[in-house]
Amino acid sequence: MQLNEFFQVLTLALMRARVPSNRIASLLREPIEDDEFRNFNHVDANSLLERHSPSLLTLTGNDWEKAREFHDKNIAVDVSMFCINDPIYPKYLKVIKDAPPILFVRGNKQILSSLPGVAIVGAREATDAGKEIARRIGKFMAENDWVVVSGLALGIDAAAHQGTLEAKGKTIAVLAGGLDKPNPARNAELGFNILEMGGAWISEHPVGVPPKKENFVPRNRIQVGLSAGSIIVEAKIKSGSLTQAKFCVGQNRPLFAVVPHGEGNPLKLNSEGTVHMVKDLGAIPISTREDYPKILSILNNQKSVIS
C-alpha cells in the first residue's frame, strides 16, 4: 500500500465511523512525514490519530478491513479517490469553507488539472427558453476552453452539459451520491456521454451511497469550489440554486444571473430567484448573448486571483 492509498482508506474508515468531514480534513491537512508509517495498517492509523488528533477515536483491525473493502468497491467501478492532502486535489476547491476531505472521481482524472471551470446551474423545472439559454452558455464557454461544471439534474443542468458536449468540450457532473451510477436515471445516457467525451463525475460520497435529499445542498459548495464563478439560469426565490449563489458570493467568486432582457419578461423565464440575486446578492446580470464576453473577461481575471 502506498501513502496516498493509506490516507484514502483512513478517510473511509473515519467516514464510516461518522467522524465529521471538517475534522477529517483538519487531520489530513496536518504535516505528516512518510517515516511515520511502517505497515500502512490500522496500527499506523492509530499512531497517526494519537499524535495529531488524540480525541478522535481508535480504529480496530476490523474497522480497517471494512474500509479497505469499501476502497476496493470504488476501484472496482473505476472510481479514483483523492484526499485533500493529495497534490491532485483541486486547489480551488481546497480553499473553500468545509472542503470535502476526499473526492471520488469517475472518468477523466486529468480534467482536474484544467480547473477552475465555470459552474452553470439552475432550475429543474425550467422553461424551454431557459434550457436553450443554458445550452448556449455551456456551448460558448466550452468553445472558449472552459470546463463546465454542473449537477446532471433535469432542466438547466442537463442543458448546460449538453451544450458543452455539442462543442466537444469537457464537463464535470457533481453528483449527490456515489458514482456507481448516474442520478437522476432519466439523465443516465447524458451522464455516460459526459464520460465518453472526456469529462468526469465527481462526488464527496463513496460508491453505494444513494443521492439522499440532504446531500443536494452541500453538493453546491463543491460546484462552487471547482469553478472560478457560477452562472445561474432560472431559479425560484427559494431553491438550491439560491444556496449555491449565496455560497459563491461568500467565497468571493463572481456570480452571474440570467434575467429577462426586456420589460414584461418576454421569454417568460423563471426569473424570480435570479432577479433577487442581482438586486440583493450583487450578481452580474446576463440578459443577451452580447453579455457572454463579459463573463469570459471576469472569469479570466478571477482565475488569476485564485491561482
Model pLDDT, residue 115:
95
Model pLDDT, residue 1:
64
On average, the pLDDT of the chain sits at 93
Yes or no: say if 184 and 153 are a contact pair by the CB < 8 Å rule. yes
Number of CB atoms found within 10 A of residue 213's CB: 8
Q: pLDDT category, 122, cuts 50, 70, 90?
A: very high
What is this structure's pTM? 0.94
Mean per-residue pLDDT, 244-268: 91
Which one is the CATH code of 110-306: 3.40.50.450, 3.30.2090.10, 3.40.250.10, 3.40.630.10?
3.40.50.450
Q: pLDDT category, 307, cuts 50, 70, 90?
A: low
| Higher pLDDT, residue 224 or 262 | 224
For the stretch 178-236, pLDDT in tens is 999 999 999 999 999 999 999 999 999 999 999 998 999 999 999 999 999 999 999 99
CA nearest to 117, candidates 75, 170, 155: 170
Distance CA 233, CA 258 (A): 5
Model pLDDT, residue 270:
86
pLDDT at 292 over 70: yes
Q: What are phi and psi of 201, to 5 degrees?
A: -105, 140
Model pLDDT, residue 253:
96
pLDDT at 175 over 90: yes
Q: Which three cell numbers stand for residue 152?
A: 446532471
Model pLDDT, residue 36:
65
Number of CB atoms found within 10 A of residue 2's CB: 8
Model pLDDT, residue 52:
83
Yes or no: say if 253 and 228 are a contact pair by the CB < 8 Å rule. yes
pLDDT at 46 over 80: yes
Q: pLDDT category, 34, cuts 50, 70, 90?
A: low
* Share of residues in the chain with pLDDT > 90 (%): 83
Q: Which three cell numbers stand for residue 266?
A: 418576454
